[in-house]
Every structure is written in structure tokens, then in C-alpha cells.
Structure 1
Amino acid sequence: MEPSVAASALPATVDTITADDIATLAIGRDISNVFQRIPGVVANNIDQGDTGNGFRMRGFATQGTHGADTAITIDGVPQNIPSSQGGAGHGPAFLEWMTADMIDTIDVIKGPVSALFGDQNRAGAIAIATREGGAATPSSAAITLAGYGGRRASLTLSSDHGAVRSLLVADRYRSDGFRHGASNDRTNLFWKLSTTIGDGIYSVRASYYRSDYAGAGYLSLPALEAGLDPHATQFGLPGFGDAHRGTLVFNRQPTGAGGWFATVYAEDFRRGRAIANSATLHTFGYDDRTIHGGRAGNTWTFGDKAVLTVGAETRSDKGDALRRQYRDRQPTANYVNNQELDLLTYGAFAQVQYRMMPALKLHAGARYDRFDYDVVNRKLPAASTAYRGGAFTPKYGATWSALPGLDVFANVAQGFRSPAAEQISASGSLGPLGAPGGRINADIDPSKVRSRDLGIRARPAAGWNVGAAVYDIGNDDEIVNTAPDVFLPAGRTTRRGYEFDVNWQPGRALGAYLSYGRILRARIDNPAPGAGALLSVPAHTWKAGAQYRGALGPGRLTVNGDVYVTAGNPYYTGTPSMRRDMPTYVRYTLKSGYDVGKVQASLSLVAQPHRFASDIAYGTAAGLLVSTVPRLQAEGSLRYFF
């Protein structure tokens, strides 16, 4: 009950993933798998190359396959990319530059209750902290082989140099892919230096990421059921893309609960992705951006009664964002859009917790964020414009220790998403640069949600932890396309549901968990004529698993088994549109690890037995399109510690 700036002290559902947890997961090619045990969460890459990391929770599916609507930070650096045209829309998160060896902890905060997160904090927020070198992290080298040509080599060098702790991670990954024409070639480099001076931990980290990939697209479920090869490539023409990302980050964090904090960062972000539209055509999306920014603030503690955090942050994002038509893999003169962006955001935030009584803690926070944008529309120059907007989002909550081992929490909070540059400066239909016409929608405000949560955290007996929450999220100013090139804050959406999870950990040797997420309502309340009202998110999400650790011969055996099920995911097809449900998706994961001396061997098996069922699918007028996945996949790894 003590007031704290830690995410776990929020009056909300918060799940924490540690480096030890990650070591028991079958991560494979997709870093999104670090979230596979989080209740009610659907996290995945869409299996078309390095195209972003989807994170769907609490009924949010807007750009859900690429991570929008959830604010994501790494060491305080925002990861959501506004107005991206690299095949991913507005606010995607690209986490492929990370590997499991770089991660220390992950906090998943459900709902927009924390004032420390700004743009995209609608479903909630994710805060990732990277590891430090020295005694906290062992040095190691590893080789991994997986099905369908997967191979990985990784090196972790951790050391102390006087008062400076160093962590270097190098990783090379390649895969041929389950589908014809699919491949991935990825390089990750990460170096972090940390030191403690007085009451602060100072760090500087540099990272570089490069990827070249090809994706096989989506296949029609009716065609698959009629006999189409699940390895086939959509239109017989693979998509393709590449990405380059270099980042430099400076951080200062206090060693204790109070003190000043600061983050300064700079990033070179380049990404391209070509999506096949026919047997000869691609739409090629491209981002070439220079990003820099920072945040600073201070936390004051007042004994065990209160804690107050006040800070400010800014982010500058300049560069090009475009989508262009390619024919026979060569660029044409026709563009979907082509914009030069100068996106400046800045804001201030404050958050306080006050222990009113020994068993009652109050929480309040607020943010004010400004957007100063300049958009040069090269396709329709008359639509070039400046944009000035802002959003104020208050948050309130309380935690009550009703009984020993039982906490009850509640919160009412607002979160927002900024308008996309393409909504502000519309680009019309496919055509050349410098064309006449164009429409400016410079008076649209950021879209805000209003979220209400009620939940419990209970410890009914030794080794048992139980959590449950119900939520209601409303939005009456969703930015929607009401007419050609016209975007207005006129959409209304409602999301309601509940979640519960049970964890049993009687000791180090055994453990088990079970969770269920139920979405009762996720719908557009005023859909356009002829459009479906239901949002495409699974109504049911089950997760369960168990772990065993024990001695075996001269070493130690660790075995983890996990089951993941999604069902009741609606989509619309046909003319007029009719509602259907996607096939139930089931995934079984088994990972065993054996440690003896300085050697660690592991084997992972992933089974997805339902034929043509996939977590990666969307509805069209012609039927459901799915990205087919292997029904069985194996991965083996050998790691040496030194």
C-alpha cells in the first residue's frame, strides 16, 4: 500500500515479465512472444517479415497487427511511430531491433491510468527496461537451429571496467520461412554502458538493427479449404522490404524512490515494405525519418504518506513518408501519398499517490500534450498544411486493502491518440506528384477514450495469487473517414469486458497459471452504412501453463508447457456484408532446458494443430484471408556461459 512510482503500485491491472520469465519462453523469430502468458493479450508479428509487433488488448484492434493504441517505451524512449507509411499505419511499434538477451523487465499496464505515457495510451502502456552489464548479466554465446531454415548466432559480453558496467549483445538471425518466397535476414547490435554516481544511475546505449525480408502475403480460407497449397504465395508474387535503425540513448535514474530522472535520445529510422496487390503490382511504403527527443522530471517522496512525480517531454520527428505503386518490382509515377513531415510533440505530466489511511491509497495524474505539425503534401500540394492541436487527459484511482491479502482497486482515466498526417492532409486516389486538388482537415482533435476499471488482487493462501478486473471504455470522437478525403471526430466505440488470472507457485520446483479474457462488447456504435459494427478482436482468450524445475543427473532440468486459445473473433464478408467468426486458434508450446556446468541446452516445440486456423487473419468481401502457419515447429539451442 505504500505510495510508489513503480508500475505495480498503480490502481490497475499490471503484469510484470522478468528476464527469468523470458528464459522459459519459446521466443523464436518473433519478439512478440515475450507477451504470450499475459492475460487477455494477443501479441504477434503478422509473419510477413519485420513489419511490426501487434499488441491487442481490451478490445482495441485499430492497427492491432502492428502495435498501435498501446503506448510502448523502452528505457523511456517512445517506440510508436506516428504517421508511418512503411506498410503499418499510424502509431505502429517495431520491436524487432530487440532480442531476449537485451531485456531486463517489462511492465504491461492495462488501461490509460498512468500519466507517464502519452500518445497511443488508449488500451494501456508497456514499459520495457534493458539489462545492465556486470554481475547482473552473465556472458554467453549461443547457437540456435529451427525448422524452415531458422538459424541464429548470438553473443552476450558482460563485464565491469572499474565503476563502469558494460553489456554488448550481438545477434544474427536468418530464416527461409514456412511459405514459398518468404525469408528474413536480421542483424542486431546493442551496447550499453552504466555507472552509479552518487544517488543516480547513468547509462548510455547505442543500438543498430538491419533487416531484409520477403513475405508471402495472405491466402483465402475458401481457397485453402478447396485445396490451395498452404505454402503458396499470394498472387504468386512475394512482398519484400528492408529496415535500418540506429539509436543512441542517454538515461539518468535515481537509485532510490525519489530524485530526478532524464532521458535524451536520437534515432535514424528507415523502413520500406512492398505489399503485393496483384500478380504484377506492389504498393511500396517507405519511411525515412530522423527522430530525437527527451524527457526529464523529478520524484519527491514524503515518507510513507505520498509520492509526487512532475515532468515534461518532447519529441521531434522529421522526414519522408510515402506509398508508391510498383509494377514488376519497378517504381511507377503513381503514388498513394507522398509527404514531408515535421512532427513536433511536447507535453507535461504530473502524478501523485497519497496514503489517506493505512488501508486506503488515492491516485491522481494528468497530462497535457501539444502537437505542432507541418505537412508538405507532394502529391497534392494544395493540401499542404500546418496543424496545431492538444489533448488534456486526467486520471484518477484508488486502492483499498479490504482484508489481509485482498486489495480492491478502481480507476477512471482518459487516454488519447493523435491524428495521423494522412488524416490532416488527405492525398486522394492513386496518382502522380504535383496534381491539383486536395483537402485539409486541420481542425480535427486527438481522439480520446474514457476508461473505467474495477478489480482485485488477492493472495488467498501461501503460493496463490489471484487477479480479476472488469472494464468499460468509451470513445465518442474517433477519427473516421466520412467522405472521400474527409476525416471527422465522429466515430463512437464501446469496449467492455473482464479478465481473471490465477497463479500457483508453492516453491521453486513447481508452478502453474490459468487466465481468461472475455470481451463482452467491442463495437462501433455508429458504423457507416453497409459496414460491420463489431471490431475484429477475439471474444475469448484462454491461457494456461505449468512449470517444473528439478535436479536431473549432474544438471538441472526446467520444463514449461503453455496453451493459448482464441475464439469468437468476428469478421465481415460478402455483399451485403455478413458476420462470420474466424476459426478457433489453438497453440501448444513445450520448452525444456537442461543446465549442466557452463552449458545450457534447450528444445522447444510449438504445435498449432487446427488446419488453416491462424492468429493472423482479416475479413474481406471475398472471404477470410489468413497467413498460414506450420502445424508443428521445433527449435533447439545450445548456450555456453563464460
Structure 2
Amino acid sequence: MNALANFTRRLPSSLTLIAGVACTGAAAAQPSVQTLGEVSVTANDEAAERQHRRTAVTSDSTGLPSGLSVITAEEIGTLNVGRDISNVFRRVPGVVANNIDQGDTGNGFRMRGFATQGTHGADTAVYVDGVPQNMPSSQAGAGHGPAYLEWITPDMIGRIDVIKGPISALYGDQNRAGAVNLATQSGPIPSSVGLSLESHGGRRASLVLSNSFNEVQSLLIADSYRTDSYRRDGKTARDNLFWKLSTRVGDGLYSLRINHYKSDAVAAGYLLLPDLQRGAVDPRSTQFNLPGFGSGERTALVFNRSPAVGEEGWSATAYAERFERVRGTASSSVQHTVGSDDRHFYGGRLAHNLVFGDKASLIFGGELRRDAGDASRRIWRSWLPTANYVNNQQLDLLTYGLFAQGQYRLASNFKLLGGVRRDWFDYDIQNRKLPGASTVYKDAVTTPKIGAVWGITPALEVFANVAEGFRSPAAEQISSSGATGPLGAAGGTVYGVAPSKVKSRDIGFAFTAAPGWTASGVAYHTLNQDEIVAQPDGSYKSVGDTTRKGYELETRLRLGSRWSVYGSYGRIVEARVNNPLPNTGARLSVPEHQFKLGAEYRQRLGAGRLTLNVDAYLTANNPYYVGTPQTQLHMMPTYTRYDLKATYDRENLQFSVFAIFQPHRFASDIAYGSSAGLLISPQPRTQVGASVRYFF
């Protein structure tokens, strides 16, 4: 369904004031996706057509000269999302999607050899409705730049664009491996109520209410999820609420949404693989016999404006968000390290898109984000806080930037694209642990992009790009907190670190072999300048430049009206530190091989329709180091996962059953190398579930 149909109502006069505030403040355009219909990442004719229209002049992500995957709401309905929203990325070529299984600790996804050791989407710029999701200098267990997406439920998602590489100038901080642009639903969609049950105490209740009030479209989504872990000391309680009002006024589409998320969790931690293999520990036991814990709460208000017809015109986003998060991880049988973030975010984007027929376009604008609040990591003993901190900082982080991106068709089958960003950082860091390290930091970074698409034949397109991306400096890089200790200690060091940049080169193709059959591929070479890695003591250190080389191949095939299949292979040829520190390994902990295969079958059955999905997922040759020093190279066990799902739709009812098989007993899709060996989170070999949904 074309998303333009979601906006057919007129805004009440009260929203005019909100629009005025957004325009006079720091607002800018979310990358437009409203002009395109849905496509599915699984093989279908519409996906095939969209895969091969990069030569078109469009500011939509499908016009970029890069690897791209589009995930639609329809496809998400065929996936086993379960407790972890990162499962929506499981079919995307080259993307490693992790089930952390440590309470509500954060979804895990990574691509192109970045974000080693499952750092929750860092090094990928993630935007939702034009709002950046990456968290600078997070202390609640995930380092610098994670994207916490637990506040999103499957019902909220309208479309996701996964852009490989930093080619788009519309995305800023963390755009090194690429970018993810998620657009939420706007309605009208069917109202529904759903219930589901899963293995290990999983249960979910969801409600979707889609209504029209005069000329305003209202979409309310509520979701309540509870689950126990396969591990004995693991459980999660999560509640999500989403309300979005949408309408059309003149030549603009307007929306206003509020969302609220709250969770509490207990986590069983990680166990040593050597202990598991020799039977010394129970796979369902808890690390140090001391469970971790966590909680989260966030509330956001977001306003959006985009052109009502076509892509030409101005777009705006303005937002405010309160973010609170706590995570305690056990470091011994009596001790936790407890990270805490208490932050407020304010900001926006404003942009204007000029379209010159089908020959050229230029989009330009700016964005601003202010992050103010506290970030700390504290030592607890016997469930009580001590006076010792890893770090404790009061942050006021202001980031703002300008961007421009243009494209020009030299011929009907050849297009050039170029873009540039200039981003500034204005930080005020108050270091409570080492006041002598408190500082004001100012710096800037420029990242150019250029690319081309050539339609050699109607069936074959080739593309190439050279682009730079960046990551903001972490507060801990700038203002050192030193060794664990009390607040107000003497000393402290301020470092004048520069923003970390990457330079990426891509070359790829998209080919329509026959109606309903497509193939695509991309090869990339990324040089990361100044790789900053989190250390066990909570500090950050540079390990020098790193290089990543690899390629991804994908094919999709539709067989008649019933069958569709897909397959992809991702290979990381090289991922290493060019000049490793003494007594450290050179190889980065990312899987060398990744296979994804799947099929879908649809058939009328009686008075309804049956949909069957099967997916297979494999990662192999993931290196890690052990020993003191950590220089002994090993490979993580090969990880495989099989997903099966059957859905039957009849009139107003939808029934689904699913199963997940992870046959390798001690393989895990998230693991950490340590001096003593590989730490993993054991997973059950089999999980099952069922759901029912009533539409009204």
C-alpha cells in the first residue's frame, strides 16, 4: 500500500502552533520514504523491480549507489521476532542479528565487520522517523553509540531501509558500516488484538487501534511482554505504548507521536565454554551464581512534516525524549558493576528537496541534537552500592551539522550522486570522579560522498561509490576516569581526540535474470581511522587503524504465485587491526562466513490462506583470543539456527505457530573472548510458540 494513503485527513488548528515551533527550532528532514510502495526482502516481483531502479532520480534510499535491503511490515509478519527486535534483520544479507538473552539489555545487530562483540548496533547510524537512536557514551552496559530499539514492537514498523556503507549524506553520527532508516506505521491499518505464548514462559498481549477522527488518523499500539529465560535466573517484563496522529494540511503530511517504554529484567550472565564442554557447570546456571539486573524507561514526543505529493519540498522533524537505563553485570560472586544513563534528548532536522524533472535533484539541510544528563558506572557489593566508581560524568553534548546531497542523470541509464556533511561537536563534560579531567571540547568533521550507477542493459545495473563516515568521540575518550575509585579524587587527564572516520569503497551489481528472478552483489573495502575499543575497566583505547574487506551475494526467485525463495552469502575476507597494541591479537572478532537461506509457500486452504516460512542462518569462523596476554587465536563454534513459521488467515482471525531450532549445544550467536576462554550465553536447542490475532 502506498504510504501516501496513510495521510488523508486535515490537522486540527492546535497542530499549527507545533509546526511553527518545529520550524523556528532545530528541525530537519527525515529521509523520505513515503513516495514508494512496500517491497519485501523475500523474493517478489515488486522487490525485483525496485532493486533495479537506482538510476532513477529519487531521494529515497532505493536510489543510492549502494547495497540496500528493504524490510516491510508484511515481511515482519512472517518472521519469528519474539523477545528481540533485532530478529527483523535476520534475512538481510551480511547483517549479524544477535539474541543477547540478558534481560532487556539491548538488541544486537552489526554488519560489514563493525561493532565486534555485539555492541548493539554501534557503528551503524539508526534513525526512526528522522530521530537518531544511537546513544553517545552509554554506561548501561553497551559502550559508545548503541541503538536501543526495545521500545519498538513489530506492530509499530511500517518499513525499514538497511543501507550498506556510509554513502548517504542524510545520516550522521555512527554512519560507518552504514545506516538503518525505520519508518513507523501511520495507519489506516486494521485494528486488532493478539495473544501469544512461547517456550520458557513467553507471553505477549498486543492491541492495535486504528481510527479516523474527522480528518485526523489515529493509531494506538499497546504491547505487554513477559518471558523467562532458558537460564534459571533470567526474566524480562516489558511494556510499550505508541500513539500517532497523522493528517494532511495543504501540501504537507504531518504527524505527531508519543511513545513510552518501561522494562525490568534479571539476567543470568555468561558461562565459560571450556567449563560447559567438560560438564563442570550446568548450561542453565548463572554466572558467579549472582544474576545481573536491569531496568529501562523512555518517553518521546516526535513531530514530522514531509511533502504530500512527490519528493519536492521541505521536510522537518522535531523531538524531545527522556531516557533512563540501568544495567548491573556480575563480576564476582558478591560484586556487580552497575551502569546508569539518565539523559534528555532534544533536537530536530530541517531540509529542502529541489527536483529538476527526471534529470536532477538536490536536498540540503541541517540537524541538531542536544544530549544532557548523567552517565556513570558504579561498583556494588552484596547488592548494595559502594563509594567506588568506574566513571561518573555529567554530560552536555551538543552536535549539529549541515548536509547536502545531489544527483544528476547524464543519460537515461547513467546517474551520478554526490554529497557532503559537516558536523560540529560542542561538549561540556563534568567529571565527578576526577574533577581535574572536566573539560569543554570542540571539534568538527567533514565527510564527502560520491557514487555512480550505470544501467548497462534493462536487466543489469552496476554501481560504485567512495564515501566517508564518522563516529563522534566518546566522553570517556576525552575525559579519562582512570582506575576504579571514589568521587572527587585528584588527577585526571584530558585528551584532544578527533572524531573517528572511515573511508569506504564499494562496487556492486543488480541483475534481473528472468521475470521474478534477481541477483545482486557488492564488494567493499573499508579503512577505519583510529579504532576506539572499550576496555574491561570501562576505559576506551585506540588500537590504531583497522581494515575490513568483504563481499555479499544474494539471489531471490519467485516460482509462480505460491513459492518464493532467497539465499545470500556474506564473506569477510579481512577484518584486522593494522598495527595492534603489544600483547593483543590483530584479527577482529567478526564471523568470516555467513549463509542465509529461506523459502515461502502460500496456498488457499479451505476458506482461508496458509503461509509457510522456513529460514536457515549460519555464521562460521569467528575468531577470538584467550590467554594472558590474549594472543592465543581460536575460533568460536559454528552457529546455526532454523526458523519455521506457519500462519493461517481466515476472515478476521489469524493463527500462527512457530519453532526455532539451534542444534549446536554450546554454540551461541553472541559470545565474548576472555583471558580464561570463550564466554557464551547457552541457548535452548528448541523453542516453540503459538499466537492468535483477531482483526476488527
Q: For residue 507 of structure 1, report the CA deviation from its aligned partner.
A: 4.1
One-letter amino acid of the structure 2 residue matched with residue 614 of structure 1: S
1:78-227 equivalence runs, <5 A? 78-134=132-188, 137-227=189-279
Alpha-carbon contact 2:481-2:539 (below 8 Å) kept: no
TM score, norm. by length of structure 1: 0.98
CA offset digits 1:36-90 (Å, max 9, x no partner): 1000110124111112222211111246331100000000000000011011100
1:334-353 equivalence runs, <5 A? 334-353=388-407
CA offset digits 1:345-366 (Å, max 9, x no partner): 0000000010011111000000
The 2-side partners of 1:486 and 1:614 are apart by 27
Confirm whether residue 447 of structure 1 aligns to residue 486 of structure 2.
Answer: no
The 2-side partners of 1:476 and 1:340 are apart by 28
1:521-600 equivalence runs, <5 A? 521-576=574-629, 577-600=631-654
Alpha-carbon contact 2:143-2:534 (below 8 Å) kept: no
Alpha-carbon contact 2:238-2:261 (below 8 Å) kept: yes
Give secondary structure in 2 for the equivalent of 1:235: helix
Alpha-carbon contact 2:117-2:670 (below 8 Å) kept: no
The 1-side partners of 2:532 and 2:524 are apart by 23
The 1-side partners of 2:538 and 2:237 are apart by 38
One-letter amino acid of the structure 1 residue matched with residue 676 of structure 2: A
Alpha-carbon contact 1:219-1:626 (below 8 Å) kept: yes
Match of 2:446 in 1: 392
CA offset digits 1:128-154 (Å, max 9, x no partner): 0000122xx110000000000000000
CA offset digits 1:270-297 (Å, max 9, x no partner): 0000000000000000000011100001
Q: Which stretch of the first structure deviates more once superposed, 490-499 or 386-395?
A: 490-499
Q: 2:476 aligns with which of 419, 422, 428?
A: 422
Alpha-carbon contact 1:372-1:387 (below 8 Å) kept: yes
Match of 2:304 in 1: 251
Q: For residue 206 of structure 1, report the CA deviation from its aligned partner.
A: 0.2
Q: 1:619 aligns with which of 673, 677, 687?
A: 673
TM score, norm. by length of structure 2: 0.90
Q: 1:494 aligns with which of 543, 547, 559?
A: 547
Alpha-carbon contact 2:118-2:670 (below 8 Å) kept: no
1:352-363 equivalence runs, <5 A? 352-363=406-417
The 2-side partners of 1:640 and 1:485 are apart by 48
The 1-side partners of 2:435 and 2:223 are apart by 44
CA offset digits 1:313-370 (Å, max 9, x no partner): 0000000000000011110000000000000000000000100111110000000000
Match of 1:37 in 2: 91
Q: For residue 552 of structure 1, report the CA deviation from its aligned partner.
A: 1.0
The 2-side partners of 1:507 and 1:387 are apart by 60
Superposition RMSD on alpha carbons, in Å? 1.5
The 2-side partners of 1:26 and 1:195 are apart by 33
Q: Which stretch of the first structure deviates more once superposed, 93-102 or 484-493?
A: 484-493
The 1-side partners of 2:119 and 2:534 are apart by 20
Q: For residue 505 of structure 1, report the CA deviation from its aligned partner.
A: 1.7
One-letter amino acid of the structure 2 residue matched with residue 95 of structure 1: L
**Using a 3 Å threshold, how does the CA distance of structure 1 residues 430 and 166 change in structure 2: closer, same or farther?**
same
Q: 1:510 aligns with which of 534, 557, 563?
A: 563
One-letter amino acid of the structure 2 residue matched with residue 54 of structure 1: G
CA offset digits 1:220-240 (Å, max 9, x no partner): 001001112110100000000
Q: For residue 614 of structure 1, report the CA deviation from its aligned partner.
A: 0.4
Q: For residue 163 of structure 1, report the CA deviation from its aligned partner.
A: 1.5
One-letter amino acid of the structure 2 residue matched with residue 574 of structure 1: G
Alpha-carbon contact 1:45-1:66 (below 8 Å) kept: no
Q: 2:336 aligns with which of 282, 292, 307?
A: 282
Q: 2:374 aligns with which of 310, 313, 320?
A: 320
Match of 1:404 in 2: 458
**Using a 3 Å threshold, how does the CA distance of structure 1 residues 553 and 490 change in structure 2: closer, same or farther?**
closer
One-letter amino acid of the structure 1 residue matched with residue 502 of structure 2: V
Match of 2:436 in 1: 382
Alpha-carbon contact 1:444-1:488 (below 8 Å) kept: no
Alpha-carbon contact 2:428-2:439 (below 8 Å) kept: yes
One-letter amino acid of the structure 2 residue matched with residue 161 of structure 1: F
Q: For residue 180 of structure 1, report the CA deviation from its aligned partner.
A: 1.2
CA offset digits 1:575-604 (Å, max 9, x no partner): 342100000000000000001110000001
Alpha-carbon contact 1:63-1:88 (below 8 Å) kept: no
Give secondary structure in 1 for the equivalent of 2:394: strand
One-letter amino acid of the structure 1 residue matched with residue 598 of structure 2: G
Confirm whether residue 4 of structure 1 aligns to residue 19 of structure 2.
Answer: no
One-letter amino acid of the structure 2 residue matched with residue 572 of structure 1: Y
The 1-side partners of 2:361 and 2:659 are apart by 46
CA offset digits 1:555-574 (Å, max 9, x no partner): 11000000000000000012
Segments of 5+ residues of structure 1 without an aligned counterpart are none
Give secondary structure in 2 for the equivalent of 1:32: helix
Match of 1:477 in 2: 530
Identical aligned residues as a percent = 59
Segments of 5+ residues of structure 2 without an aligned counterpart are 1-54
**Using a 3 Å threshold, how does the CA distance of structure 1 residues 447 and 132 change in structure 2: closer, same or farther?**
same
Give secondary structure in 2 for the equivalent of 1:165: strand
Alpha-carbon contact 1:55-1:70 (below 8 Å) kept: no
The 2-side partners of 1:486 and 1:599 are apart by 53
The 1-side partners of 2:396 and 2:411 are apart by 49
One-letter amino acid of the structure 1 residue matched with residue 470 of structure 2: F
The 2-side partners of 1:12 and 1:123 are apart by 12
The 2-side partners of 1:290 and 1:246 are apart by 10
Alpha-carbon contact 1:53-1:92 (below 8 Å) kept: no
Alpha-carbon contact 1:45-1:65 (below 8 Å) kept: no
1:8-87 equivalence runs, <5 A? 8-62=62-116, 64-87=118-141
The structure with the largest strand share of the pair is 1
The 2-side partners of 1:280 and 1:489 are apart by 32
Number of residue equivalences: 639
